C-alpha cells in the first residue's frame, strides 16, 4: 500500500504538536513513519514547497534527507486540472489540499491527513484517507 502524506502531518512531527485533548500528534505521526517503509511514502514538490514556505531554513533543510528516501511523484496537468475542479466543487478545501487529494487519488494511495474538511472531501470523492494513527496498530496515547 502507498501513502500520500499531507503537509500538516509533517508539521505535527516538526513542532511536536498536541491536540486539545493532549494527545501527542507528533509522536503518533512518528510511529506511522517508523512503521511504513519509506518507499511506500509518496512525496511531491507540492509538500516540499509548502514545508519550505512554512519553516525556517534550519528546520526545512534536515527534511531533505528524509524526502530523498521517499517515492517522489510528479504533478501532471491532469492533477492540476482535477484539483481546480475539486476546489470549485468543494470550496471548504484549499487548492493545495485539492492537489494533495488529486495526487493521492490518481496514484491509488491512502491520503494521510488530520484536516477534517479534507478527510470529508476525500471520503466523498472515493479516496481512502485518515490520520496516521488509523494506519498504525497500537497508536494510542
Average pLDDT over residues 94-115: 98
CA distances, 93 to each of 6, 31, 50, 59, 100 (Å)? 13, 27, 15, 26, 11
Q: Which residue has the cell 496498530?
A: 137
Q: Where are the domains of the chain?
A: 3-135
pLDDT at 136: 83
135 burial via Cβ count (<10 Å: 0-12, 13-18, 19+): middle
The interaxial angle of helices 7-14 and 45-54, nearest 10 deg, is 40
pLDDT digits (tens, 9 = 90+) for 43-83: 999 999 999 999 999 999 999 999 999 999 999 999 999 99
Best CATH choice for the domain 3-135 from the list 3.40.190.10, 3.20.20.60, 3.40.50.1010, 1.10.3720.10: 3.40.50.1010
pLDDT digits (tens, 9 = 90+) for 25-42: 999 999 999 999 999 999
The pLDDT mean for the chain works out to: 95
Amino acid at each position: 500500500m502507498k501513502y500520500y502524506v499531507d503537509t500538516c502531518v509533517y508539521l505535527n512531527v516538526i513542532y511536536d504538536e498536541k491536540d486539545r485533548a493532549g494527545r501527542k500528534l507528533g509522536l503518533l505521526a512518528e510511529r506511522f513513519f517508523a512503521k511504513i517503509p519509506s518507499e511506500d511514502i509518496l512525496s511531491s514538490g507540492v509538500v516540499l514547497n509548502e514545508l519550505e514556505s512554512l519553516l525556517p531554513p534550519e528546520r526545512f533543510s534536515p527534511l531533505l534527507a528524509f524526502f530523498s528516501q521517499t517515492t517522489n511523484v510528479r504533478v501532471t496537468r491532469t492533477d492540476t486540472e482535477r484539483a481546480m475542479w475539486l476546489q470549485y466543487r468543494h470550496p471548504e478545501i484549499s487548492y493545495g489540499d485539492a492537489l494533495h487529494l488529486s495526487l493521492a487519488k490518481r496514484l491509488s494511495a491512502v491520503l494521510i491527513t488530520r484536516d477534517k474538511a479534507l478527510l470529508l472531501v476525500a471520503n466523498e470523492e472515493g479516496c481512502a484517507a485518515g490520520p496516521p494513527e488509523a494506519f498504525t496498530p497500537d497508536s494510542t496515547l
